[in-house]
């Protein structure tokens, strides 16, 4: 079973306080915080490796981004992925989810051989959750999102799809596209041997030219999203804590609500 896991490098939200927004383009200044693999994508990598360990085959990690993304791909190799491909080209920069989905889908077509494509349910920077489904649409493949459990039997895939307060059991033919939640597994730590291997590993880099795809469908040019403004929502005014016996507190509360004409 050959698996492709699409991953994104994102700024570490644990260092959110160091993050800055470029005032001109209204986009994140990515070098202002340490970069990590999008946490949900780590679950996708883990699931890919587990499925490979169970059914044999290879795991290929695929990412689009600047050359620094090599680090994220090497981290995935250290966990146990077999191959890594980076889509990197100046013209890919500034892509929205539409252009990203198109570019990734074209790369997946170029890879050719696969049974399953895994994504994290969303990236913690943009939080759109659109790229997984977008790639599935570009490729015309079945998609199951928010998956917390995968089973494969006789070439059929069965997944538990998380809903608000229940789950759906969904079946699909392979190949299919899956996006996973945190609950699906606990990502492993890389092993020392894995890290050493990953340092020496060859990472395949594909540019626009090597992919021979439409240049007007990638990057900023191929994006239909325009960021008009980014702003921090205004802080809500502080709450007030009422103290005293329950009766007093309830009385004061009612009075206050009346004053504000809520009641």
Partner 1 sequence: MDYFLTEEQKMIVELTRKIAREKITPVVAHHDETEEFPWDIMKLLAEADLFGVYIPQEYGGLGGGVFELSLVTEELSKVCGGIAICYAATALGTYPILLFGNEEQKKKYLPQLAKGVRLAAFALTEPNAGSDAAGIQTLAKKEGEHYILNGTKQWITNGGEAEVYTVIAMTDRARGARGATAFILEKGMDGFDFGKKEKKMGIRASATRELIFTDCKVEASRILGKEGIGFLVAMKTFDASRPGVAAQALGIAHGALDDAVKYSRQRVQFGKPISSFQAIQHILADMATQVEAARALIYATARMIDKGVKDIARESAMSKLFASDVAMKVTTDAVQVFGGYGYMREYPVEKRMRDAKITQIYEGTNQIQRNVIALQLIKEAAKGK
* Smallest separation, CB 188 to partner 1 (Å): 6
Residue 190 found at the interface with partner 1 (CB under 8 A): yes
Q: Which is nearer to partner 1, 200 or 260 (CB)?
A: 200
Considering the rule CB under 8 A, would residue 238 count as an interface residue with partner 1? no
**Contact range with partner 1 by CB under 8 A, out of 97-105, 169-177, 190-198, 215-223:** 190-198
By the rule CB under 8 A, 220 interacts with partner 1: no
Nearer to partner 1, 6 or 72 (CB): 72
Which residue in the set 56, 163, 192, 235 belongs to the binding site for partner 1 (CB under 8 A)? Answer: 192
**Contacting partner 1 (CB under 8 A), which of 17, 193, 200, 261?**
193
For the window 144-183, what string marks contact with partner 1 as x by the rule CB under 8 A?
----------------------------------------
* Distance of alpha carbon 158 from alpha carbon 155, whole angstroms: 10
How is residue 126 written in tokens? 């943009």
112: left (phi over 0), alpha (psi -120 to 50) or beta: left
Token duo for residue 223:
């994006």
Using CB under 8 A as the binding rule, whether residue 188 contacts partner 1 is answered as yes
Residue (of 201, 207, 190) closest to 107 by Cα position: 207
Which residue in 14, 196, 249, 254 binds partner 1 (CB under 8 A)?
A: 196
Q: Is the dihedral of CA 95, 97, 100, 106 positive or negative?
A: negative
Cβ atoms < 10 Å from Cβ of 238: 6
Site for partner 1 in 100-119 (CB under 8 A): none
| Contact stretch for partner 1 (CB under 8 A) within 93-101, 140-148, 149-157, 186-194 | 186-194
Long-range contacts of 228-234 (CB under 8 A, 24+ apart): 228/26, 229/26, 230/21, 230/26, 230/27
Contact between 64 and 90 under an 8 Å Cβ cutoff? The reply is: no
User: Is residue 14 at the binding interface for partner 1, with CB under 8 A as the rule?
Assistant: no
Binding of residue 195 to partner 1 (CB under 8 A): yes
- Toward partner 1, which CB reaches closer, 110 or 197? 197
Of 23, 18, 1, the residue nearest 229 (C-alpha): 23
> Minimum Å distance from CB 195 to partner 1?
6
Helix (H, G, I), strand (E, B) or coil at 9: strand
Residues 6+ apart with CB under 8 A from 11: 19, 28, 30, 32, 33, 34, 35, 36, 125
**Interface with partner 1 by CB under 8 A: which range of 31-39, 60-68, 149-157, 191-199?**
191-199
Does residue 189 bind partner 1 (CB under 8 A)?
yes
Where along the sequence are the contacts to partner 1 (CB under 8 A)?
A: 188-196, 199
């Amino acid at each position: 079973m050959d698996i492709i896991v699409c991953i994104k490098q994102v700024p570490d939200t644990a260092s959110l306080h160091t993050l800055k927004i470029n005032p001109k383009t209204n986009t994140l200044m990515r070098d202002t915080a340490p970069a990590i693999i999008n946490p949900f994508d780590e679950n996708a990598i883990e699931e890919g490796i587990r499925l490979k360990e169970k059914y044999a085959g290879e795991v290929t990690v695929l990412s689009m981004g600047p050359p620094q993304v090599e680090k994220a791909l090497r981290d995935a190799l250290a966990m146990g992925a077999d191959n890594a491909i980076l889509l990197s080209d100046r013209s890919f920069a500034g892509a929205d989810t539409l252009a990203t989905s198109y570019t990734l889908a074209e790369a997946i077509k170029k890879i050719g051989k696969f049974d399953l494509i895994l994504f994290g349910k969303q990236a913690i920077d943009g939080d759109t959750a659109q790229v997984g489904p977008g790639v599935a649409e570009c490729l015309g493949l079945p998609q199951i999102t928010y998956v917390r459990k995968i089973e494969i039997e006789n070439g059929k895939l069965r997944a538990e799809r998380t809903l608000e307060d229940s789950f759906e059991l969904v079946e699909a033919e392979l190949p299919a596209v899956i996006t996973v939640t945190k609950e699906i597994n606990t990502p492993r730590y890389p092993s020392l041997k894995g890290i050493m291997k990953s340092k020496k590993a060859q990472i395949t880099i594909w540019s626009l030219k090597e992919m021979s795809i439409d240049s007007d469908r990638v990057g900023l040019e191929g994006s239909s999203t325009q960021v008009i403004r980014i702003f921090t929502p205004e802080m809500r005014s502080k709450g007030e804590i009422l103290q005293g016996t329950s009766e007093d507190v309830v009385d004061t509360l009612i009075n206050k609500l009346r004053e504000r004409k809520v009641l």
